[in-house]
Structure 1
Amino acid sequence: MSQKIALSWSGGKDACLALHMLMQSSNVEVDHLHTVIGEETDRVGMHGIKKELIEAQAKSLNLPLKISHLPSDKSNKSYDQVMSEYAEYCKTKGIDTIAFGDIFLEDLRQYREERMAETGIKCVFPLWGKGTKAVIEEFLDLGYQTKICAGDASKLNKSLIGQTINHQLIQNLGENVDPCGENGEFHTFAYNGPLFQNSIELQLLSIHSHFYVYKIEDDGKTKEMRSEFYFADFE
């Protein structure tokens, strides 16, 4: 009998490849996808993807979608509360494990495991420990397609936003950009491939910038930092 699990779904390539790997296993059954959507924006956090496009993915993948809404303060406390409530939902469905598409960020994995452990939920990471170049190459070689939907303006040329990733694009990213954007350099939206019943048609309406202000500690002093991100507005 296979184990019923859920998959944390951002809509990007890593979550998609994790889903592919899980679907190849006879030991697990992916019960549904779970996405956190901004209550104020109706979009996926750092991906900037509209809820309707996430719904289109789930429909094409023929999987149920569970959406949680993150309050406009976007604080860690609010996120933890959202995930705690989601964990309770999972338990009502007999699910005690959630899969994530993380690859090598130890602190993020630890955060997920510790928070979920508090709710009695276990975490699995199908892509964990794989080289990120190998991950993106496997994703492409399997026949999946994905577009860059957001990118750090200090790391990525604006002309790449909205582009479909291929082997040549990965080669041209530059040495300071992880091939999977695992350090937050860029985010993606998967729109076609073996698990999709149909390709999701995307129209790039515009590319816009958003500035984030945050604080860091440096030699005992608090400094205010500012970073710019590009976002593709797809419909």
Structure 2
Amino acid sequence: MASSILLPLLLSSSLLLALTNAATFTVTNQCSYTVWAAAVPGGGMQLNSGQQWTLDVAAGTTSARIWGRTGCSFDSNGNGKCDTGDCGKLACTGYGSPPNTLAEFSLNQPNNLDYYDISLVDGFNIPMNFVPASGCSTNAAHCSADVNANCPSELKTTGGCLNPCQVYKTDEYCCTDPNSTCTATTLSEYFKNLCPQAYSYPKDDPTSLFTCPSGANYNVVFCP
């Protein structure tokens, strides 16, 4: 009898904890142009200059990302394409194509921490800030520089700047071999010098990965 009463109580407590540690992400377009925001999980939305999109993300979500797309055109069914960050539809169900500046996160990880970062490993298309809105006052990831302005010629593409991994596809740039001693390169340093708090290559953890206590909420700002 006692166990049958205890089980619903445990389930209720677990549900309450999950709801408590869910996170709200407010995505704001401060660019002078339209950005088609995308999120996995979450879908996508057209954001004209000054508009916002709010996402509630479940506790325990991992390998999630938010990004902005440019130069998009969609039909009445929400199918279409974008110059950068394309996923083939307005409401993305899969990751976008490079180049795209990424806000990446995993919620409620060990030690009750959220992990989050800005990554340029898929290249750069839009300046971005990724900052706690509440529940965490000290950490923030910034990449507000115009990386496209002086993008190295071999990395230039329509609407953005590719990471060297997409261009050369070698372990030197992509760090695909788990036993490699992959380090920064001259090309990855171009990104790092402009956005020192963002990932410039896959093993760029020490200066690029941030944490907050689980239960924090976040702001993602395009063109901060």
Using structure 2 for the length normalisation, give the TM-score. Answer: 0.22
